[in-house]
Structure 1
Protein backbone atom coordinates (compact mmCIF):
# COMPACT_ATOMS: atom_id res chain seq x y z
CA UNK A 1 0.00 0.00 0.00
CA UNK A 2 1.37 3.40 -1.01
CA UNK A 3 1.68 6.19 1.48
CA UNK A 4 -0.71 9.06 0.90
CA UNK A 5 0.51 12.59 0.46
CA UNK A 6 -1.04 13.73 3.73
CA UNK A 7 1.33 11.43 5.66
CA UNK A 8 4.35 13.36 4.42
CA UNK A 9 5.55 16.46 6.21
CA UNK A 10 5.53 19.61 4.05
CA UNK A 11 8.92 20.94 3.08
CA UNK A 12 9.77 23.96 5.18
CA UNK A 13 10.95 27.11 3.46
CA UNK A 14 14.68 27.54 3.54
CA UNK A 15 15.77 30.53 5.61
CA UNK A 16 18.50 31.31 3.10
CA UNK A 17 15.95 31.71 0.28
CA UNK A 18 13.75 34.11 2.25
CA UNK A 19 16.84 36.11 3.28
CA UNK A 20 17.95 36.29 -0.36
CA UNK A 21 14.48 37.49 -1.45
CA UNK A 22 14.48 40.23 1.20
CA UNK A 23 17.95 41.42 0.19
CA UNK A 24 17.00 41.38 -3.49
CA UNK A 25 13.85 43.44 -2.84
CA UNK A 26 15.83 45.98 -0.79
CA UNK A 27 18.43 46.28 -3.55
CA UNK A 28 15.72 46.78 -6.18
CA UNK A 29 14.05 49.48 -4.06
CA UNK A 30 17.39 51.28 -3.60
CA UNK A 31 17.98 51.12 -7.35
CA UNK A 32 14.49 52.52 -8.11
CA UNK A 33 15.03 55.39 -5.69
CA UNK A 34 18.52 56.07 -7.06
CA UNK A 35 17.31 56.20 -10.65
CA UNK A 36 14.13 58.11 -9.79
CA UNK A 37 11.79 55.37 -10.94
CA UNK A 38 9.94 54.85 -7.69
CA UNK A 39 6.49 53.35 -8.06
CA UNK A 40 4.75 56.49 -9.17
CA UNK A 41 1.31 56.44 -10.67
CA UNK A 42 0.09 58.97 -13.17
CA UNK A 43 0.24 62.49 -11.78
CA UNK A 44 -2.67 64.92 -11.55
CA UNK A 45 -1.91 66.62 -14.86
CA UNK A 46 -1.83 63.33 -16.74
CA UNK A 47 -5.14 62.23 -15.22
CA UNK A 48 -6.71 65.61 -15.98
CA UNK A 49 -5.51 65.49 -19.58
CA UNK A 50 -6.89 61.99 -20.02
CA UNK A 51 -10.19 63.11 -18.54
CA UNK A 52 -10.46 66.08 -20.91
CA UNK A 53 -9.56 63.89 -23.88
CA UNK A 54 -12.19 61.37 -22.81
CA UNK A 55 -14.81 64.11 -22.57
CA UNK A 56 -13.95 65.39 -26.04
CA UNK A 57 -13.96 62.00 -27.69
CA UNK A 58 -17.01 60.80 -25.76
CA UNK A 59 -19.07 63.89 -26.52
CA UNK A 60 -18.31 63.90 -30.21
CA UNK A 61 -18.64 60.11 -30.64
CA UNK A 62 -21.78 59.93 -28.51
CA UNK A 63 -23.49 62.70 -30.44
CA UNK A 64 -22.48 61.18 -33.75
CA UNK A 65 -23.76 57.71 -32.80
CA UNK A 66 -27.08 58.96 -31.41
CA UNK A 67 -27.65 61.22 -34.42
CA UNK A 68 -26.74 58.50 -36.89
CA UNK A 69 -29.02 56.04 -35.11
CA UNK A 70 -31.96 58.43 -35.17
CA UNK A 71 -31.39 59.24 -38.83
CA UNK A 72 -31.24 55.58 -39.72
CA UNK A 73 -34.32 54.75 -37.67
CA UNK A 74 -36.41 57.65 -38.98
CA UNK A 75 -35.04 57.50 -42.53
CA UNK A 76 -34.18 61.19 -42.58
CA UNK A 77 -31.31 63.06 -44.09
CA UNK A 78 -28.37 63.69 -41.75
CA UNK A 79 -30.22 66.39 -39.82
CA UNK A 80 -30.18 64.49 -36.52
CA UNK A 81 -26.59 63.44 -37.11
CA UNK A 82 -25.51 67.06 -37.42
CA UNK A 83 -27.76 68.21 -34.59
CA UNK A 84 -26.54 65.64 -32.07
CA UNK A 85 -22.96 65.95 -33.29
CA UNK A 86 -22.99 69.64 -32.34
CA UNK A 87 -24.88 68.92 -29.12
CA UNK A 88 -22.13 66.41 -28.22
CA UNK A 89 -19.43 68.95 -28.96
CA UNK A 90 -21.25 71.58 -26.89
CA UNK A 91 -21.68 69.17 -23.98
CA UNK A 92 -17.99 68.24 -24.10
CA UNK A 93 -16.92 71.88 -24.17
CA UNK A 94 -19.31 72.74 -21.34
CA UNK A 95 -17.89 69.93 -19.18
CA UNK A 96 -14.34 71.05 -19.92
CA UNK A 97 -15.30 74.63 -19.07
CA UNK A 98 -16.71 73.46 -15.73
CA UNK A 99 -13.47 71.61 -14.98
CA UNK A 100 -11.31 74.59 -15.95
CA UNK A 101 -13.35 77.05 -13.87
CA UNK A 102 -12.61 75.12 -10.66
CA UNK A 103 -9.91 76.38 -8.30
CA UNK A 104 -6.56 74.69 -8.92
CA UNK A 105 -6.74 72.57 -5.76
CA UNK A 106 -10.24 71.26 -6.58
CA UNK A 107 -9.72 70.28 -10.22
CA UNK A 108 -9.44 66.59 -9.41
CA UNK A 109 -12.93 66.69 -7.91
CA UNK A 110 -14.53 69.02 -10.46
CA UNK A 111 -17.30 66.59 -11.36
CA UNK A 112 -18.57 64.55 -8.46
CA UNK A 113 -20.67 61.41 -8.61
CA UNK A 114 -23.83 63.52 -8.21
CA UNK A 115 -22.95 65.54 -11.32
CA UNK A 116 -22.43 62.38 -13.35
CA UNK A 117 -26.13 61.51 -12.92
CA UNK A 118 -27.34 64.54 -14.84
CA UNK A 119 -26.56 68.07 -15.85
CA UNK A 120 -26.61 70.70 -13.11
Structure 2
Protein backbone atom coordinates (compact mmCIF):
# COMPACT_ATOMS: atom_id res chain seq x y z
CA UNK A 1 0.00 0.00 0.00
CA UNK A 2 1.11 3.52 -0.57
CA UNK A 3 2.08 5.62 2.41
CA UNK A 4 0.85 9.15 2.85
CA UNK A 5 3.03 12.16 3.73
CA UNK A 6 3.04 11.27 7.48
CA UNK A 7 4.66 7.88 6.76
CA UNK A 8 1.47 6.13 7.91
CA UNK A 9 -0.36 3.46 6.00
CA UNK A 10 -3.94 4.57 5.45
CA UNK A 11 -6.55 2.28 6.96
CA UNK A 12 -9.11 0.71 4.74
CA UNK A 13 -12.50 -0.68 5.73
CA UNK A 14 -11.00 -4.17 5.53
CA UNK A 15 -8.38 -3.21 8.16
CA UNK A 16 -11.17 -2.04 10.47
CA UNK A 17 -12.87 -5.43 10.13
CA UNK A 18 -9.62 -7.20 11.00
CA UNK A 19 -9.24 -5.04 14.12
CA UNK A 20 -12.77 -5.88 15.15
CA UNK A 21 -12.07 -9.57 14.59
CA UNK A 22 -8.95 -9.43 16.76
CA UNK A 23 -10.91 -7.75 19.55
CA UNK A 24 -13.61 -10.44 19.39
CA UNK A 25 -10.96 -13.19 19.43
CA UNK A 26 -9.29 -11.69 22.50
CA UNK A 27 -12.67 -11.41 24.23
CA UNK A 28 -13.49 -15.06 23.40
CA UNK A 29 -10.09 -16.21 24.70
CA UNK A 30 -10.68 -14.31 27.93
CA UNK A 31 -14.10 -15.94 28.38
CA UNK A 32 -12.60 -19.39 27.75
CA UNK A 33 -9.82 -18.74 30.28
CA UNK A 34 -12.37 -17.68 32.91
CA UNK A 35 -14.51 -20.75 32.26
CA UNK A 36 -11.72 -23.07 33.44
CA UNK A 37 -10.73 -26.52 32.28
CA UNK A 38 -13.11 -28.59 30.20
CA UNK A 39 -15.17 -31.10 32.17
CA UNK A 40 -14.17 -34.71 31.69
CA UNK A 41 -16.41 -36.69 29.40
CA UNK A 42 -18.35 -39.35 31.34
CA UNK A 43 -17.32 -42.16 28.99
CA UNK A 44 -13.65 -41.26 29.51
CA UNK A 45 -14.15 -41.21 33.28
CA UNK A 46 -15.87 -44.61 33.26
CA UNK A 47 -13.12 -46.07 31.08
CA UNK A 48 -10.40 -44.75 33.41
CA UNK A 49 -12.13 -46.12 36.50
CA UNK A 50 -12.67 -49.48 34.81
CA UNK A 51 -9.03 -49.70 33.81
CA UNK A 52 -7.88 -48.95 37.35
CA UNK A 53 -10.23 -51.55 38.85
CA UNK A 54 -9.14 -54.18 36.32
CA UNK A 55 -5.50 -53.33 36.91
CA UNK A 56 -5.88 -53.79 40.66
CA UNK A 57 -8.06 -56.92 40.60
CA UNK A 58 -5.88 -58.69 38.03
CA UNK A 59 -2.41 -57.30 38.71
CA UNK A 60 -2.16 -57.66 42.47
CA UNK A 61 -3.23 -61.33 42.72
CA UNK A 62 -1.19 -62.20 39.63
CA UNK A 63 1.88 -60.48 41.05
CA UNK A 64 1.39 -62.28 44.37
CA UNK A 65 1.01 -65.62 42.57
CA UNK A 66 4.19 -65.10 40.52
CA UNK A 67 6.27 -64.05 43.51
CA UNK A 68 4.75 -66.88 45.57
CA UNK A 69 5.52 -69.42 42.84
CA UNK A 70 9.14 -68.28 42.78
CA UNK A 71 9.39 -68.50 46.57
CA UNK A 72 7.72 -71.93 46.53
CA UNK A 73 10.34 -73.18 44.08
CA UNK A 74 13.10 -71.67 46.22
CA UNK A 75 11.86 -73.15 49.52
CA UNK A 76 10.13 -76.27 48.05
CA UNK A 77 6.81 -75.46 49.75
CA UNK A 78 4.52 -75.63 46.72
CA UNK A 79 1.72 -74.33 46.54
CA UNK A 80 1.32 -72.71 49.98
CA UNK A 81 3.32 -69.48 49.63
CA UNK A 82 1.84 -68.90 46.16
CA UNK A 83 -1.72 -69.34 47.43
CA UNK A 84 -1.08 -67.14 50.46
CA UNK A 85 0.42 -64.29 48.44
CA UNK A 86 -2.30 -64.61 45.80
CA UNK A 87 -5.05 -64.20 48.41
CA UNK A 88 -3.17 -61.35 50.09
CA UNK A 89 -2.89 -59.69 46.65
CA UNK A 90 -6.62 -60.13 46.09
CA UNK A 91 -7.42 -58.63 49.53
CA UNK A 92 -5.13 -55.71 48.77
CA UNK A 93 -6.83 -55.20 45.41
CA UNK A 94 -10.29 -55.15 47.01
CA UNK A 95 -9.10 -52.62 49.60
CA UNK A 96 -7.55 -50.49 46.83
CA UNK A 97 -10.81 -50.52 44.86
CA UNK A 98 -12.81 -49.63 47.97
CA UNK A 99 -10.44 -46.77 48.79
CA UNK A 100 -10.58 -45.51 45.21
CA UNK A 101 -14.39 -45.58 45.03
CA UNK A 102 -14.70 -43.84 48.39
CA UNK A 103 -12.26 -41.16 47.24
CA UNK A 104 -14.31 -40.68 44.05
CA UNK A 105 -17.60 -40.25 45.94
CA UNK A 106 -16.02 -37.70 48.30
CA UNK A 107 -14.62 -35.80 45.33
CA UNK A 108 -18.06 -35.67 43.70
CA UNK A 109 -19.80 -34.44 46.86
CA UNK A 110 -17.27 -31.63 47.34
CA UNK A 111 -15.76 -32.95 50.61
Identify if the C-alpha distance between structure 1 residues 105 and 44 changes in structure 2 by more than 3 Å, giving closer, same or farther: farther
1:104 Cα deviation after fit: 3.0
| Number of aligned residues | 67
Which segments of 5 or more consecutive residues in structure 1 lack a partner in the other structure? 1-39, 108-120
CA contact (8 A) 2:69 2:78 kept: no
Instruction: Tell me the secondary structure at the aligned position of residue 96 of structure 1.
Output: helix
CA contact (8 A) 2:60 2:90 kept: yes
Per-residue deviation, residues 20-52 of structure 1 (Å, max 9, x unmatched)? xxxxxxxxxxxxxxxxxxxx8x61111110111
RMSD between aligned residues: 1.9
Instruction: Tell me the secondary structure at the aligned position of residue 103 of structure 2.
Output: coil
User: What are the equivalent positions in structure 2 for 1:62-77 lying under 5 Å apart?
Assistant: 62-77=63-78
Which segments of 5 or more consecutive residues in structure 2 lack a partner in the other structure? 1-40
User: What are the equivalent positions in structure 2 for 1:16-35 lying under 5 Å apart?
Assistant: none
Question: Hey, what does 1:110 align to over in structure 2?
Answer: none
Question: Hey, what does 1:92 align to over in structure 2?
Answer: 93
Question: Hey, what does 1:50 align to over in structure 2?
Answer: 51
Query: What is the alpha-carbon distance in structure 1 between the residues aligned to residue 71 and residue 61 of structure 2?
Result: 16
Question: Hey, what does 2:81 align to over in structure 1?
Answer: 80
1:76 Cα deviation after fit: 1.2
Question: Hey, what does 2:20 align to over in structure 1?
Answer: none
1:103 Cα deviation after fit: 4.1
Identify if the C-alpha distance between structure 1 residues 103 and 48 changes in structure 2 by more than 3 Å, giving closer, same or farther: closer
TM-score w.r.t. the length of structure 1 is 0.51
Query: What is the alpha-carbon distance in structure 2 between the residues aligned to residue 63 and residue 103 of structure 1?
Result: 27
